[in-house]
Amino acid sequence: MQIRRLMLAVSLVSVAACSSSGLTDPNTIAADLRGTWTQTGLGVGSSRVFTLQVMGTTVTGTGSYAGEAGPFGNMTITGSITGARISLDFAQDDDITFHLSATLSSSRMLTGTLLNGSDSAAATFQKIQVDPPGA
């Protein structure tokens, strides 16, 4: 019985090591970033949804944003992958730009800090579609 427990413990440690190591590999990060994402934790009627493409370490995309009573519109996303860090700039069509400094906490969860000037807030994004259509 103790050998079975030991084997289970070794297996769990091996699985944990393999799954977390991929989130620091730039190639894995690039593959995981491709797709459509939405910001979680926003108020009712508010949204930020975008689709990302990745070429090497360069990230680009387009999306939309909306506030409960406005504003709303489109945005373009540009950014890069440096090691395990992901840097994205969200340029909204109302001339407001947000900067996200983040990491993948899983293949479907992006967490970090969203900055607008001197204002910052924790932000989490969830993948809602694996790859952009036609990718």
Contact 103, 86 (CB under 8 A): yes
16 within some domain: no
Which CATH number characterizes residue 99's domain? 2.40.128.120
User: Which range marks the domain in which residue 103 is found?
Assistant: 25-129
What pLDDT score does 22 carry?
63
Output 84 or 16, whichever has higher pLDDT: 84
Whose tokens are 């994004």? That residue is 125
Cα–Cα dist 67/61, whole Å: 20
67 within some domain: yes
Domain count, the chain: 1
What pLDDT score does 133 carry?
52
44 within some domain: yes
What pLDDT score does 69 carry?
86
47 within some domain: yes
pTM for the full model?
Answer: 0.79
76 within some domain: yes
68 within some domain: yes
86 within some domain: yes
Output 21 or 82, whichever has higher pLDDT: 82
